[in-house]
Amino acid sequence: LNPRTVLQPCTLTDIELLPGQFVIALLAAANRDPAQFSNPDQFDINRTQAPPLSFGSGIHHCLGAHLARLEATEFFRRMLRRYPTIKLSGTARREQGSNLRGFINLPVELIGPAIRRQV
């Protein structure tokens, strides 16, 4: 969970929040608001409808955000160079936790020049 302290008075969904109160952000819901995103449950690497909440913002911005983006960029660059085609090869299963949501199982087929691998 991600507890935060309210710094200034505000209203959130008809609830008045005052400085000093604690709130808990549920990251599992981030970037999945159907009022903000068309197809919120679909992964879309090109989504531009709203800025991602993945690394927080302001004083709560993740110090490792730049490194994580750099690592992900390099990983996908190398992966796609070696396997230009990646296809879903089974049923994806998601973790349904209250804090983070990820995949328990994401079977894919990696297809490259004369290479086919199930992972």
Give the domain extent around 26.
10-118
Could you identify the residue written with the tokens 């507890």? 3
Domain membership of residue 3 (yes or no) is no
**What's the total number of domains in the chain?**
1
Domain membership of residue 106 (yes or no) is yes
The per-residue pLDDT string of the chain (119 residues; one tens digit each, 9 = 90 and over) reads: 678 899 999 998 899 999 999 998 776 676 777 887 888 878 777 877 777 777 877 887 889 999 999 999 999 999 999 999 999 999 999 887 766 677 899 999 999 886 666 66
The answer to whether 53 touches 30, Cβ cutoff 8 Å, is yes
Helices (H), 21-115: 65-82
DSSP lists the bridge partners of residue 111 as 85, 116
**Cα–Cα distance between 36 and 20 in angstroms, integer?**
29
Q: Whole-model pTM?
A: 0.61
Domain membership of residue 1 (yes or no) is no
17: Cα within 13 Å, side-chain hemisphere: 14
Domain membership of residue 21 (yes or no) is yes
Domain membership of residue 5 (yes or no) is no
DSSP lists the bridge partners of residue 116 as 111
User: 28 in helix, strand or coil?
Assistant: helix
